[in-house]
Amino acid sequence: MHVRGVAPWAGWLRARRGWRGGSTRRLPSGAAARRARARSTHDGVACGEVSLGEAMVGGNAAERPLVGVGVMLVRDGRVLLARRRGSHGDGSYSWCGGHLELGESFEDCAAREVREESGLVVRKLSFLCLSNILAYGKHYVDIQLLADEFDGEPEEREPHKIAGWGWYPLDALPTPLFRPVELAIASYRSGRRYNP
């Protein structure tokens, strides 16, 4: 049944987007309706099917990617790394990093994470790379910064999260590397700033 001002696909719209009607705006019909239905696919996945993003977060499309910030600390051509514990990427080698807090700048987050995890005090940071990471069953927008000016010696401050700090030459890194670290090392070597 076609009600004046309501296209035949309005039931689909109601089910898909929670539309309840009541708008005085005339909904599209004909070619406009076909275009709207064509746009109802996301990355080639038809409505009602599970997209990669939904599968990554256990089917809850309300979840969003997290923002991670990492810091590549370099001293005399060596990189500070330790093994991750009790989280995604468990057992892989990583450097200091963590989640961006609400209202925090990338630099403040980086300095905080370095201080909390290693006790080092960062004096100068520069941008290394930006990556879109789908790994370990998670989705992260990852910002990596480079620190070559810092004070102190690394200490194990959070051994339940990351432990066994060591300085590794860039040409003899341990394996496996945590995925964000792997991408950042490749960016450091190539100068590529974005990893889609």
Residue range 107-123, pLDDT digits in tens: 999 999 999 999 999 99
Residue-wise pLDDT tens digits, 131-170:
999 999 999 999 999 999 999 999 999 999 999 999 999 9
pLDDT tens by residue, 19-65:
344 433 444 455 544 444 444 333 344 444 444 444 444 545 458 99
**Looking at the chain, which residues constitute the CATH 3.90.79.10 domain(s)?**
66-195
pTM for this entry = 0.70
CATH code of 66-195, in short, is 3.90.79.10
Q: Are 65 and 154 in contact (CB under 8 A)?
A: no
d(CA 182, CA 196) in angstroms, rounded, equals 14
Residue 116, φ and ψ in degrees, nearest 5: -65, -40
pLDDT in tens, 3-30: 344 444 344 334 444 434 443 344 445 5
Please list, in sequence order, all residues whose beta carbon lies within 8 angstroms of the beta carbon of residue 37, skipping any fewer than 6 positions away: 9, 12
